[in-house]
Amino acid sequence: MKNSYPLAGLITALLFASSHAAIPTDGLVAYYPFNGNSNDASGNGLNAVGNGPTLTTDRFGKANSAYSFAKTSGYPNTTKFVTNSNLNILGNSSRTVSVWFCLDENSAYKYGNLITWGTDSVGTTFHLTYEPWQELGYKFAIDGGYMKWAWLHTGNLATGVWHHLVVTYATNMGNSKMYLNGSQLVGVSDPRFGNASSTLNTGAGPLHINSYMNEGWGIVGKIDDVRIYNRALSATDAQEIYDVERVSSPYASQCQEQLATLQQKLDAADDLVASLQTQLATANMSISQLRDDKAALEQQIAALNTQLNAKNTEIAKLQNEKDVLNRQLTAKTTELNNAGGQIAQLQSDNAALRQQLTAAEARIATLTTQQIQGLAGLDEIMRLIQLPVGRRSSTVRFTGPEGAKANAIIDALLAPPGQNVNGK
């Protein structure tokens, strides 16, 4: 059975995301959630090294999820973090700092430097401070190294309570804005340290958390969820951070992690969808090619069918001719068989005739010369009788008594009509 906890976490994250805006990530160059360590969770590798801070519970009561900056012996407080490389938000470029902090009962320090970076010279540092000692009405300020812009706040902050602070900078001090627990404060200038048109010229240096450069001067209390952006967030962006991060649920950070995991899965799903779309496009091209090939094959099949029909017609014609030839062969065979019978009959008749001829020849062999002359005369007489009267002629004369009779008859046949033989 599958573990349902990750699914429940994803559902919680989805419900959380549906009821709260997402924390902006565009321009995020450093993020310290302090979940068991001081590593940079933005992915930019700007990890921090501590000097005295210890892990503690965060604003949701979750252990080892924030850092405590306890008071050190002496003055000022030097418990702090410093990054292992420079924070490259330089010169007069736009920037935003977001931080959660909680003051303890010993918070009345002259300075409470929350965030600092740059170089330690006039005009080249940038630091965000909480100044409870001020008598001019403001309690928060950004300082560019003796060029300050401040924000009014009545009274000191309550101790033992978590506070959220967002400060943005763009173009000059007068365009800077500060949001305390989701509410925008009124900005004022300290006439001793510049005016609204003053600009920054931050140098290259590491990021210090709860310290002015390497000197200390930080708060005594807790700090959590530090975010640094290289752009000035809008009022909506600042409100989104506060709305999301102030949720009083022990599973808020877990939901954020689940959302990040879900986003990774969604990104992977997007990559998979893109890959599938590419494969689909390739498949569509293949299908299109197959359709073209199919159409070409269908044309070839149609042409072959036409040829086949012609061949079938030719075969039918040849079959008819074969049938005719078979019938003719049958008839010829019948005729041949009949001819064979006739030949047999003729052969039989010929044999009989030969027998008759043999008999006749035997009889002829027995005839006398006179009988032969008579028979020859008889043949001549028969020839003349078959001729028309006007066309009869004969020069044959026979001898002997029988031949004389034949000559008399021949003469009678040759005589003109109405005339007797011997001129009578």
Per-residue pLDDT tens over the stretch 9-48: 444 444 444 444 689 999 999 999 999 999 999 999 999 9
Interatomic CA distance for residues 283 and 290, integer angstroms: 10
Interatomic CA distance for residues 38 and 52, integer angstroms: 12
Tokens of 404: 């004389």
CA atoms within 13 A on the CB side of 153: 22
Structure confidence at residue 105 (pLDDT) = 57
CA atoms within 13 A on the CB side of 96: 25
Rounded to the nearest 10°, the torsion over CA 306, 312, 315, 320 is -120
Interatomic CA distance for residues 316 and 313, integer angstroms: 5
The tens-digit pLDDT sequence of the chain (424 residues) is: 444 445 444 444 444 444 446 899 999 999 999 999 999 999 999 999 999 999 999 999 999 999 999 876 666 678 899 999 999 999 999 999 999 999 985 455 567 889 999 998 877 999 898 887 776 666 788 887 777 888 888 777 888 999 999 999 999 999 999 999 999 999 888 777 778 888 999 999 999 999 988 888 888 899 999 999 999 999 999 999 999 999 854 445 555 566 777 888 888 988 999 999 999 888 888 898 999 999 998 999 999 899 989 989 989 988 888 899 898 889 888 888 888 888 888 888 888 878 877 876 776 666 667 777 777 777 878 877 887 877 777 788 888 888 788 888 888 878 877 665 554 4
Amino acid at site 293: D
Tokens of 156: 């000191």
Closest among 128, 111, 237, 116 to 184, alpha carbons compared: 237
Indicate yes or no: pTM above 0.85. Answer: no
Beta partners for residue 152, in sequence order: 138
Structure confidence at residue 141 (pLDDT) = 86
Interatomic CA distance for residues 96 and 178, integer angstroms: 10
- SS3 assignment, position 180: strand
Structure confidence at residue 340 (pLDDT) = 82
173 exposure class (CB count in 10 Å sphere: 0-12, 13-18, 19+): buried
